[in-house]
Amino acid sequence: MTNLHINAAPKGAAIRLADPLLSVSGLNKRYRDGDPLAVEDVSFSLGNGEILALLGPSGCGKSTTLRMIAGFEAPDLGDVYLRGERVTQLAPQQRRIGIVFQDYALFPHMNLAQNVAFAMRHVPKAKRPAKAREWLDLVGLADLSARMPDELSGGQQQRVALARTLAAEPELVLLDEPFSNLDAALRESTRKEVRRLFKAAGTSVILVTHDQAEALSFADQVGVMHSGQLLQVDRPERIYQTPATAFVAEFLGHTNLLEGEADGEIAQTPLGPVAINHSRQGPVQLSLRPEHLALSAAPDDHGATIVEREFRGHDCFYLLEHRGQRFCAITPSHTLWKVGEQVRLEPQRTATVLRD
Ligand code: ADP
């Protein structure tokens, strides 16, 4: 279930669609006079059971956005709605939102079952121990319920923090870089497991991260932020394949930014004519992913020169130079080219027209 149906409704449509679980509208925040806006005119909505990742470099305003949704920070302008109800003025505890921070914040003097039971103010006291065990079971830690937090690994502590958040049965969970304290191997498995848990519970989630691979694999929708602005929100594959701006294109992986002169659905570029995804006239900036460039033997000296080669097993990454410009290409590793060789560079897919 995504919120796309809301955006896809034709303007003025008579159908009254259900309110999204969360919607934020025109959020602005400046911490101090003279500072730039930490968050500038951020609006988006989130459907039931949907997972959104807010992705961007450090300092771009992700956590501030999250804190305004949670109620820890008041926006200077704009509103937060939960199920259509304006909650901008409500205190954090009045919002039915669960939050998991980087450092888990388990109570050190309580065992795991007690940590989880603590979140169940809505459950009668007598029923809490059994319920706590059920939540710990869901994260695979029921057998350790009598342990203290300092007797657990980082990944286990993170799962307890999640069990405790889920035990409060929030409609929305906010995760602020929750996997960043875990080592690489544990991070990937914990992430998969956590996604499975949220999907099973039907909980809506906003994940804040600066890790593009994490955002693309964890979320149903990815919102890319830069300098306080939300540049684009879309499904992971669409964000990657049709980035809206040069920043989004480059933040999500390697890309070739090409200047072109468009005439309809074709643009003339330094790589020759390239098909483009929107009909345009005049100057355009384009993004073409490295895996969408093919290398073939150049019959003469007019091709691109291979300047660098990184063999990566299942594929090979090349840096090339053509008429004073650098390009990158990723090709299957069964055909390899050597540094210094001349090759023809051929776009294989439609290039994406970027916004300024
Ligand atoms: P991110 O989560 O993307 O790293 P933040 O939302 O934490 O970004 O920060 C956005 C901007 O606001 C940054 O320039 C940061 O320095 C500033 N900022 C964040 N918190 C505060 C604060 N409590 N006081 C003043 N400035 C802050």
Compute and round to an integer the Cα radius of gyration of the chain.
24
Report whether 221 contacts 227 (CB < 8 A). Answer: no
Q: In angstroms, what is the span from residue 62 Cα to ligand 1's centroid?
A: 8
Task: Say how far apart CA 39 and CA 82 lie, in whole Å.
Answer: 20
Report whether 331 contacts 297 (CB < 8 A). Answer: no
pLDDT of res. 10: 35
8-state DSSP, 346: E
Task: Say how far apart CA 280 and CA 301 lie, in whole Å.
Answer: 33
pLDDT of res. 252: 95
In 3D space, the residue among 211, 139, 148, 151 whose CA is nearest the CA of residue 175 turns out to be 211
In angstroms, the Cα distances linking 331 to 52, 207, 290 are 31, 32, 8
Confirm or reject: Cβ of 56 under 6 Å from ligand 1. Answer: yes
**Site to substitute for ligand 1 among 31, 62, 102, most atoms within 8 A of C-beta:** 31
**Residue 298, token pair as written in the block:** 């150049």
Domains and CATH numbers, the chain: 22-96+170-248 (3.40.50.300), 256-353 (2.40.50.140)
Confirm or reject: Cβ of 58 under 6 Å from ligand 1. Answer: yes
Which residue is it, tokens 């690489």?
184
Per DSSP, the three-state class of 1 is: coil
Can you give the pLDDT of all 356 residues of the chain as single tens digits?
333 333 333 333 333 356 799 999 999 999 999 999 999 999 999 999 999 999 999 999 999 999 999 999 999 999 999 999 999 999 998 888 988 876 667 899 999 999 999 988 888 999 999 989 988 987 888 899 999 999 998 888 888 988 898 888 888 999 998 888 777 877 888 888 889 888 988 899 999 999 999 999 999 999 999 999 999 999 999 999 999 999 999 999 999 999 999 999 999 999 999 999 999 999 999 999 999 999 999 877 678 999 999 999 999 999 999 989 999 999 999 989 999 999 999 999 999 999 97
Long-range Cβ contact pairs of 129-135 (< 8 A, separation 24 or more): 131/167, 132/167, 135/163, 135/164, 135/166, 135/167
Which residue is it, tokens 């995504």?
2
Residue 166 phi/psi, 5-degree rounding, is -65, -30
Confirm or reject: Cβ of 38 under 6 Å from ligand 1. Answer: yes
Residue nearest to atom 14 of ligand 1 (CA): 59
